[in-house]
Structure 1
Amino acid sequence: MRDTLVLNASFEPLSTVSMNRAVVLVLQDKAVVEQSHPELLVRAAAVELPVPRVIRLCRFVRVPFRKHAPWSRRGVLARDQHRCAYCGRRATTVDHVVPRSQGGGDTWLNTVASCAEDNHRKAARTPDEAGMPLLRKPFVPSPADAMLLSLGARQREALPEWLGRSA
């Protein structure tokens, strides 16, 4: 199912929702479509609506300030664009830079996307111990960056320039 970016009334990214939820918000006049898929339509008996790619809420929603995005395996894979930090091939798993057995934890700066082969080859060693240098350093994405990364490359490319620049 396609994800739709939800903007606050002030145009700040809030979250992503399923296409179905986005359509419901628009039909209930709680949101307006800011950008839609050019050729896709949702049709019902009395309604025809372009499939929303970006919607904006009609009323401002106060959100508590969050300095960092919460860590998740899915977030690490999205941050690293599903590319292995050791060889650059397609990544399917997450590797701990400092292994959990050596005191490393589930944090943005201690985890990278990895292919299964390199994850197995590195085992419970640091990249230096295994002779496997990182191609790029892990970083902590902002909450807005994490949300935009979760949309996927194909959808990010289609977002308005003013919105996609932070990703």
Structure 2
Amino acid sequence: MGRKVLVLNQDYSAFSICSVPKAFLLVYLDKAELVAESEQFMLRTVSAEYPMPSVIRLHRYISLPYKGVMLTRQNIFKRDGHHCQYCGTTDDLTLDHVLPKSRGGKTSWDNLTTACKRCNSRKGDYTPEEANLKLRQRPFKPTFLVFLREFSGSLEQSWMPFLTKKEKAFK
């Protein structure tokens, strides 16, 4: 049961993604309500059958001072589609500082990109222009909604109304 459930805050804004068992527990304990259920799957016990949650809404509003995407290696890879941003390969991927750290480059969304070991080694302590390499996509910091919508893997159709707020395009 590796399916995921979209969790909405009380105001119907996207809050997070959780597992089906966690979502079912929140609904069962009356901490959340079922907004949308899976059309294909049901949860079954020995004596009962329950709809499998697809979208749930929390009964209490949870205030998040900053709802951003954590800067992690896997999130950089997701943002870049698990492709080297110089040559496009999917083999031996690492992270590359576009402006090298030795030249004052920061470890940030705007300066980290996915690179294969070969391109990263070729680039070395140079900028992409100095190493005669061209970035396929400029690094950017995705917003929470953009990250959920574009990079979180498979999205359920029932999630789309809650993930389609107007935002700036990054590509």
Q: TM-score, normalised by structure 1?
A: 0.80
**1:9 deviation in Å?**
1.3
In structure 2, how many angstroms separate the alpha carbons of the residues matched to 1:79 and 1:12? 22
Q: Which amino acid aligns with 1:37?
A: S
In structure 2, how many angstroms separate the alpha carbons of the residues matched to 1:35 and 1:90? 36
Partner of 2:134: 133
Pick the structure with greater CA Rg: 2
In structure 1, how many angstroms separate the alpha carbons of the residues matched to 2:137 and 2:161? 26
Deviations 1:128-159 (A, max 9, x none): 1221111111112223323444521x226x34
**1:4 deviation in Å?**
2.1
When the two structures are aligned, how many residues end up with a matched partner?
A: 164
**1:77 deviation in Å?**
1.8
Where does the alignment leave 5 or more consecutive residues of structure 2 unmatched? none
**1:164 deviation in Å?**
3.1
Partner of 1:164: 163
Alignment RMSD: 2.5
Name the structure with the higher helix share. 1
**Contact 1:78 1:149 survives alignment (8 Å):** no
Confirm whether residue 54 of structure 1 aligns to residue 55 of structure 2. yes
**1:109 deviation in Å?**
0.3
Confirm whether residue 24 of structure 1 aligns to residue 14 of structure 2. no
Where does the alignment leave 5 or more consecutive residues of structure 1 unmatched? none
SS of the residue corresponding to residue 110 of structure 2 reads: helix
1:4–1:89 distance in 2 versus 1, CA, 3 Å? farther
Partner of 1:69: 69
What's the % identity of the aligned pairs? 34
